[in-house]
Structure 1
Amino acid sequence: MLRLNPAWSPDAQNDAPTRRAVFSLGAIGTALRRSLWTVVGAMVLCVAAAAVFCVFSTPTYVANVQLLIEPQKQQQLLLFEPGMLDLTLDNAQVESQVEVLRSERLAAWVVKDLKLATDPEFQADPSRMNAHPGAGSSGDADRDEAQRLRTTVANLAKHVGVRRIGQSYVIEISAWSTRADLAAQIANAYASAYLRDQFDAKSQGARQGVDWLKLRITELRGTLNNAARAVEDFKSKNGLVTAGTNLLVEQQLSEMNTELVSARAQTTQSAARLARVRAVGGAAAGSASVGEALNNQVITNLRERQQNAIAKEAEFRDRYGPTHESVVKAQADAAQAETEIATEMQRIAQTYLSDYEIAVERERALEGEVGKLVAVVDKRRQSKVVLSEMEAQAESYRKMYQNLLEKLTETSQKETLPISNARIVAPANAPLGKSSPKTGLILALGAAFGLLGGTVYATVRVGLDRTVRTAEDVSHATRLDCLGLMPFIAGKRSGGKGGKVARPIGFEVLEAPFSAFSRALRRTKIAIDASRESRTMTTIGIVSTASGEGKTSIALNLGALYAQAHLRTLLVDADFRKADLTRANAPMATAGLVEVLESDADAIQSTRLPNLDLLPLVFTMPIAQSSDILSSRQASVLLAALSTSYDIVILDLAAMQDSADVRAVGRLLDGLLLVAAWGETEAAVLSEATHALDASGAHVFGVVLNKIRDTASVSQSI
C-alpha cells in the first residue's frame, strides 16, 4: 500500500550508509551549518591554549608615536594673501627631519629626561668600560660618565626606530622594551624632544616679529585717529546726522511723505462728504443718505416725533375728519419736525465744510514742508558721497590696525610658545598587547587549528548522525517521496520530546502566505492532489512517529490551503492523547468526535476561515479505547457521511509511539501524510513506522520533513 519511490531499489538501500559517509565539500558545508556551536567551541578552546602560551612567554612591547611634518610657512607677517604663502615641502626636507630624529643629541635628551642611564635595561656593561690608571680622579670620573652616557645612548638607539610612512609627511617613531609603559615613555620623549628643538629654533624669529609689529602699530594708530577725526568733522560741518544706515533728514522726508499721502486721502474724503451734504440740501428726506445723520441722536428723535405726528394725523383724520382741530395740530407738529431736521442738516453741512477746509490747509502745509526737505536731502546726498569715501579710507585703516593687533597677539604667543612645523598625530600609549611573541599570529593559528579540528569533528558527527535531515535521508529510510521541507517557525514554545516546540503555529499560510513554510506546504498539497487525480480521495490523515513533531500545525495549515481553494474542508481532531487542534481553535467546545460517534450529535464548528470547519475532540481524561473507537463501524459510517458532505476531510491523529490509533484507522482513510522532525526523528524509527503502516494496509502519500533549522536546505529546495 506504500507509494514506492522510483529512485529506490534494494541495491540503493544497501548502498545508503556508504553514500551517507562520503565526505564532500557540500557535506562539509552542511556539517558546519548544523554544528556551528561545536566548531565555535573548538576554536575557543584552541585560542585559549594559544593565549596561555603567550601569557607565559617573555613579553616585548612596542609603542609608536606619529609626527606630521607640515609645510614651512613664510615668516613675513604682512603677506595676507593666501597665494603668497609657501606651502611646498619636498622629500629632502622630510628625510632631513628623519635624520634629526636619529641624532645622538635627541637621544641624549631622552636619556637625561627618563634617567635611562640608571635603568638596568639600558645600562652599559661594566666589563666593557676602559680601565684608566689613576682611577678615582675627577677627570677619570668625568670620562667614565661621558662614556656611560654614550653607551646608554647607543643601547637606546637599538631600541628605537624612525621611518617615514610611505610617501606621506608622517614620520613614525617606534620604541620597544620589556615594559609597556617604558616603551610608550621613550616614544613620547623622542617626540617631545623633537618638538622642543623646533620650538627653540623659532623663538628668535618670533621675538623679532613682535618688535617690528609694535613699531608699525604705533604709526598706524596715529593715521587711523586722524582719519576718524576727519570723518566726524565733515559730518558736523555738513549736518550729516545718520539714523541707522540712512541720513536723519532722509528718514524725516520719508515720514513726511507718509503724512502727506494720509492728508490727501483725508481731504478727498472730506470733499466727498461735503458734496453729498450739499446735494441733499436741507430736505429731511435726504438725511437718510448722510452717514452722520444716521448716527445723529437729534435727527433720530426728530424723525420719531415726525412719524408719531403723521400717525396721529392719519388716526384723527379717520376719526374726526380732515378739518378737525386735532388733525390740524398733528400736521403742524409734523411740519415743525421737518423744519428742525432741515436745520440740523444745515449744521452738519457746516461741520463738513469746516473739516474740509482744515484738511486742505493741512495738505498745503505738508506739501510745503516736503518741498523744503527734498531740497535739503539733495544737498546732503552730495555731501554723503564725499563722506562715504572718507569713511571707506578710515575703515581700511581700522582693518589694517585690527589685523596688526591680531598678528601682534599671535606673534607674542609664539615668542613663549612658538608654532612648530610638526605636530604629534597620535601619541604613544602603553601597548595593550605584546609584540613578541606575536600574540595575534599565534591566536590566529590557534583559531585556524580549532576551525579545522571543529570542522573535521562536525563532519564526522554528521556522518554518524542517524536522524533524518534531508529529503535523501527520508527516501533512503522509507522508500517514500519527501513531499516538503518545512522550516522551523520562530515563536513556538519548547516542550515535548527533545525539549523542542510542541504547539501549533496557527494559520501560517494566511498570516505569511509567501513564507518558506507556506511555499513548502503548497508543494505538499500539489503532490497530494496529484495522487487524488488517479483515485477518489477525500479523507486524509496526518500522523507522526512521536509527539512534538508538528503534525497538528501541518494539518491545520493544509486544511486552510484547501479551504482557500474553495473546497469544503473539515478538520477532525482525532488525537486522543493531546487534542492540540481543539485546544488551539475551539477551547470552549463541549461536544466533539466522541459525542458524534455515540449520539450523532451536531458538534462541527466553523472557523474564521470560510469553507473550513472543525470537528473538535472533547475529553476530561485520556481514553484507553481510542483505537477501538476509530476502527468501529460508527467511525466508518461517519467518515463516509463526512466524505459526502465535504470535499476534503483531514484527520489529526495521535503519534504512533503514543497510540495504535493510526494502525486502526489507517485502512479506513484514503491516504496518510507522515510528518517527521528534522534532527529529531531517527531514520530507523521512521523506517519502522512506514513498515507498520504498510502492514496495516494504509496508503501513504509521502513524508513531510518538518521543523528544519538549516535554512539553506529549505531555500535550495524545489
Structure 2
Amino acid sequence: MSPRPSSPTIPEGRDSDGVDFRNVVGILARRRNWVFGVPLALCALVVAYLLVAHPAYTGTAQVFVDPRDQYTPKDDPLQNSVPGDGLLLVESQLKIITSNEVLNRVIEQMNLQNDPEFNGERVGLGRLVKALIGLGKPEDRALVTLRNLRKKVTTRRIDRSFVIDILASADTAPRAAALANAVATSYLEEQAGANSAFQRRTSEAISAQLGKLRQEVKRGEEAVAAYKAANNLVGARSRMVSEQQLDEANTQLTNAKTRLADAQARVRLIETIEHGDAGLDAVPEAMQSAAIVQLRGRLADASREEAQLAQIDGPNHPALQAARAQVRDVQAAIQRELKTIARSVRNTYASERTNVQTLQANFDALKTQSQANEKLLVPLRELERKAESSRIVYESFLAKAKTAEERQGIDTTNIRLISRATTPENKSWPPAMIMLAAAIFAGLTIGIALALARDYFDRQDRGPEPDAVAEPDVPARAAAEPAPAFRPAVIAQHHAGRLSALSEDLLAAPQGHTMVLVQVQRAAWLDDVALQLARAVIANEMDVMLVDADLARHRTTSRLGFDKAPGLRDVMAGIAAINEVVQLHKPTAMRIVPVGLSAVAERDPRARQALSLAFRQLRDFDRVIVDGGEMGSTASEFGLYYLADEVVFLAQGPGGKSEDAAILVDLLKLRQVKARVVFVEPDVSVAA
C-alpha cells in the first residue's frame, strides 16, 4: 500500500461551513420578485385604505372618583369609608360611564339622532356593500345612535390612581372634544341624580315604617302600664315603691340596732359599776352631765370649807357640823343624780329594743311583700324590654328619616371633573405610519416564506417516492431499456456505466481517500450514486467503507436494511466506537456505517470531535464514500465537508440550486477543501 496522505488542515476558529445561510440567500436572490412584491402589494392596499377611510380624532376628559363619599355634620365619616382600596368601586364607574342612561343624556344634549355620523345614515363602503347583498335592513334610529355612540366612547382607569379617562372619537377634532366633555358632564349629572333618588327612596322607605314602629311602641308601653295596674305595682320606670320602702326599712333597722347595741353596752357598764367598787360617776353620761358637774363643784367647795373649819374650830363646833352636813347633802344629791342617769340609760335601752323589734317586724313584712313582687316583676321586665327596644328602633328610624330628608338636596358623591377635553391636534385613526410599517414587515415575512416554499415545491419535480427500491445487488437489466421510464428497479443500472468518470477519479485517488457526496436537488437517481461508486470500488478488489451521513433521510441505510442497527449517530453521541457500528452487507461484501439510532444535538462540539476521530480511523480502508444527503442537511453542521479529502455536489443540471452549490464550492476552495459540482442526468453525466 502507498503511504496515506495527511488529512486536510481545518482552519482554526471555524465552527460552520456556512451552507444554510448561503443556501437561503441564494433562494431569496432568485425569488426576489416574491420577497419585494408582497410588501409592495400590502403597502398599496394600506395606501388605498388610507385614502378612503374616514379619519377619527379622540378627545380625552378626566374625572376623579374618591371612594370615600362626602358626609354631612350629622354623619360619622368612618361609616362612609369604603373597605379595601376602593378599586372595585372605580372599576364599576367605568361601566356606568358607558351605560345607556349616561349615553342617552349625551344623545339628547347633542342631538346625535340627527347626526349622520351616529344615526347610521352616512354613506360608506360598508353600507353600500350591505345594500348590494341585501343586508341593509332598516333599524330604529335611537338604537343605532346608541350603539354607534357606545363604539366611539371608551373608558380606562389610570394605573395606581382613582382617575378615569373618558375617550370619545369623532370625525372632527372639535366634535371629539365636545363629545368627551358631554359624556363627562352627563356622567356627573347622572351620579348626582342617582344619589338624590337614592336618598329620596331611603327617606320614603323609612317614613313608611315610622307609623308601624310608632304603633309598636304604643302597644308596648300600654302593656307595661296595664300589667302594673293589674298587679298593683307602683313605682318609677326603673324601681318599684316596695323596693324603695324595703331599702329604707333596712336602713332604719340597721341604725336602730346600732343604737340598741350602744344602749346595751352602757347598761352593762352601769350594772358592772353597781356590783363593783367603782362609782356611777364613771358612766360616760355622768361625766358629760351638767348637773353632775355643778354638784361636783359644790362638793369641792363644801369639802374645802369643811377642811378650813376643821383646822380652826373643834369637832363639835356648829359651823363645822353645818359644813359637814352640807358635804353630805351634796354627795347625796350627786348619788341621786347618778341613779337618775342610770335609770335613764336603762329606759333608753328598753326604748331602743322596742324600736328594733318594731322595725324588724316592718322589715320582715316588706321583705315578704318584695319577694311576692319579684315574681310579678319578671313578666314586667320582659314587657319593659320589648317596649324599650321598640322605642330605640323607632327613635333610630326617626333620626334616619330626618337625615335622609335633609340630604336629598346634598350631593354626597365625591366625583368631580378634573380635566376637560381639549381639541386634539392629531388623528387617532388611521395610524398611517404604523400600518405601513406593519404592512412592510408582514409583507417581507410572507414574501420570504412564499419564496422558500416555492423553491421547495419547484424541487419536487420527480414523481412520488417509490414504495420499494431495488437493493444494489439486484442483477442489472438490459442497457437498451428506455430511460424515461424511471422505474426504481432499473435506475441503479442506468447509472452504473454513466458515472464512470467519477468512478475512475475515485479509483485513481490514494489509499484512504474520503469522498463526500452531496445532493444539490433531491432526486431518485441521485440516491443511487453512493451505492454505485461503492460497487465500482469492490469490483476493482478494493476495500470500501460506505458511511451514511444523511441524518435527515438516510436512504442508503434503509435500502441495505440497517434501519435498526447502531451507527454514526451513536458514534457522535459517544455511545459506541466506530469499529463497533460497522456492518457487513453479505450480498455485496460491502462495509457500511448506518445512520444509527441516537439523537444528536445540533452543533454539538463533542459530536464533531467524535466524528473527526471516526473518520481518521476509517482511513485504514482503501476508499471511504460518505453519503452526505441533501445540501443543507444537518450533517454539514458538524464540519463534515472539512473532514473529507473531496466534496462532490451531485446536481441534475445547471440553474436553480446548482448556482448555490457553485458558490459553496468556491468557498470550500478558499478554505483549502477540494470540491466540485457534477451534473448527473438519467442519461447523461457531465463533470464540471
Do the structures match in fold with TM over 0.5? Answer: no
What TM-score comes out, normalization by structure 1 length? Answer: 0.36
